[in-house]
Amino acid sequence: MTEHPQRHEHRGCVPVRRGPSPFLDGDPERERLRPAADRRTFLKVAGAGGAGLLFSAAPGAETAVAAPRTWNRAYVLVVDGCRPDEIDSGLMPNLKALRSSGTTYPAARSLPVMETIPNHVMMMTGVRPDRNGVPANSFFDRALGEERTLDRPGDLKASTLLWWARKHGMTSGTVLSKEYLYGIFGRQATYRWEPRPIVPISGHAPDSFTMDATLSIVERFDPHLVFVNLGDVDRVGHTDLTGGLSLEVLRRTALVTTDLQVGRFVQMLRTTGRWEKSIVVVLADHSMDWSLPHRVISLTRPLAADPFLAGKVEIAQNGGANLLYWTGPASQRQAGVDRMVAIARAQRGVLGVYDRAKVQRQLRLGPEAGDVVVYCQAGWRFSDPNVLSNPIPGNHGHPPTAPIPFFVSGGHPIVRPGSSPLPATTVDVTPTVAKFLGLPFPTGRQAWEGQARI
């Protein structure tokens, strides 16, 4: 197995960087270097705090005056990594009030792999990873011969709701706080926040800046649909291991401050008269599990110790899920997969091991997810290539992190207070928003898989 210690500080939720940052793509100075037909428009807007906010836009977007197809507006707020019980913790009064005024789905689940990029992609494509090409945060790129983050616009194989809305005469916006989300969604939306500042290492913008940009994009451009990722709640679980504060205190602080940002958003909708014509879909992409220091699974050594597998396996680490790739001769693939399954099953702390092709109908992960999918148990984590590679206790990607908050709120009369036992999932976001905006549903091979939850 190849090892890149200088580049693999931590894998899973935190990006494995390959090549230039996608943020360089948002540098207006570099835009001059592009072919004219490929250039974007950059729009500078004064933010709430007086700071300049930078948006990029589809060509002509700033002058386009489209006929108002509908007065309805849909906002999707992702509280990254939030557990459903945290909304009841007493620390999130704004989210709790928003949930009470809408329909909540207590049985809601994130879908495999329970990581950030795949679940955001499922939200905006309405289809599972075997159709959209994005099953994980990190995968082994067989063409490149190395592990990398799935953050390139070309990785996305299905069309998005952001684009579908544009195709039908509406406008869309993205305010994505994480470097790799900005990367994968590329130019899908009519208006895209060029996020900054970015916290080093974690690769995300703090929620206060993300919310400044959200308020600006709504008030300045008024898109029919805006897709927002608030990254702080997730990020405190991954990066803050030092200092005098305990993880719990940091987590609680993030819940409070993120909730305040959601409060700002609702206040803006009310004061600008948007509340009555809006739905606000709030959900998480996955929740969070906390592992104990000694509960670490490292698969590199046992796999490399097997004479048949040695040098013929690659691992893509996705927090609580490890993806294993057979790189030996194709004629020996099944034998290799069977060995990997047997060895992974024998490790302490492993929850489940799957020959991906054999359980395709359940997992719905495409070939990018490799040959074998391994989940850890609650309270454990993977650490490869060795037991010290992943020092971070906060973890997701495995089934214990599937329960998520999911509710459809807002002031539009279609919103009804209540609770539904239906098993809402991240693929439901696209049909829910499309139904509300009156967009047609694609049919046949392009059909969405989720259900409208209004």
Query: Collapsing DSSP states into helix, strand and coil, what is residue 347?
Result: coil
Minimum distance from residue 120 beta carbon to Zn ion (Å): 8
Find residue 407's DSSP bridge partners.
Answer: 104, 282
- 3-state secondary structure at position 319: coil
Nearer to Zn ion, 227 or 326 (CB): 227
Closest CA to 119 of 371, 345, 377, 318: 318
Shortest separation between residue 313's beta carbon and Zn ion, angstroms: 25
Using the minimum distance from each CB to Zn ion, give the nearer residue, 180 or 209. 180
Nearby residues of 270 by Cβ (< 8 Å), 6 or more positions away? 411
Please give the structure tokens belonging to residue 313: 């396996």
Q: Report yes or no: 45 and 53 within 8 Å, Cβ to Cβ.
A: yes
CB of 34 to Zn ion, least distance (A): 31
What distance in Å separates the CA atoms of residue 234 and residue 249, rounded to the nearest whole number?
14
**Both tokens of residue 131?**
């159709």
Q: Which residue has the tokens 């906390």?
A: 290
Cα-based angle 200, 185, 443 (whole degrees, multiple of 5): 155
Min. distance of Cβ 396 from Zn ion in angstroms? 6
How big is the chain by its Cα radius of gyration, in Å? 21
**Shortest Å distance, C-beta 98 to Zn ion:** 20
CB of 80 to Zn ion, least distance (A): 4
Q: Which is nearer to Zn ion, 207 or 285 (CB)?
A: 285
**Element holding 138 (H helix, E strand):** strand 138-141
State the minimum distance, in angstroms, from the CB of residue 283 to Zn ion.
11
Rounded CA-CA distance 188/58 in Å is 9
64 vs 190: CA distance, rounded Å: 11
Q: How far is the CB of 72 from Zn ion (least distance, A)?
A: 28
Across-strand partners of 171? none
Question: How far apart, in Å, do the first and last CA atoms of the chain sit?
Answer: 48
DSSP category for residue 425: B
Q: Based on CB atoms, which residue is closest to Zn ion, 118 or 410?
A: 118
| Tokens 């148990």 -> residue | 377
Residue 285 CB, nearest approach to Zn ion (Å) = 4
Closer to Zn ion at the Cβ: 232 or 371? 232
CA pair distance 384, 201, nearest whole angstrom: 19
Least gap, CB of 319 to Zn ion (angstroms): 7
Residue with tokens 């992943």: 390
CB of 95 to Zn ion, least distance (A): 17
Residue 56 vs 110, nearer CB to Zn ion: 110
DSSP string computed for 72-87: -EEEEEEETT--GGGG
The residue among 179 and 285 lying less far from Zn ion, judged by its C-beta, is 285
| 209 vs 221, beta carbon nearer Zn ion | 209
Tokens representing 220 are 């300045």
Smaller CB distance to Zn ion: residue 283 or 341? 283
We find the least distance from the C-beta atom of residue 46 to Zn ion, in angstroms, to be 30
Measured CA to CA, the distance from residue 411 to residue 280 in angstroms comes to 8
CB-wise, 81 or 126, nearer to Zn ion?
Answer: 81
147-183 per-residue burial string, b: 16 or more CB within 10 A, e: under 16: bbbbbbeebbbbbbbbbbbbeeebbbbbbbbbbbbbb
Task: Judge if the upstream peptide bond of residue 197 is cis by omega within 30 degrees of 0.
Answer: yes
Q: Given the rule CB under 5 A, which residues bind Zn ion?
A: 13, 80-81, 116, 234, 285
Name the residue nearer to Zn ion (CB basis): 110 or 190: 110
132 touches 121 (CB < 8 A): yes
126 or 203: CB nearest Zn ion: 203
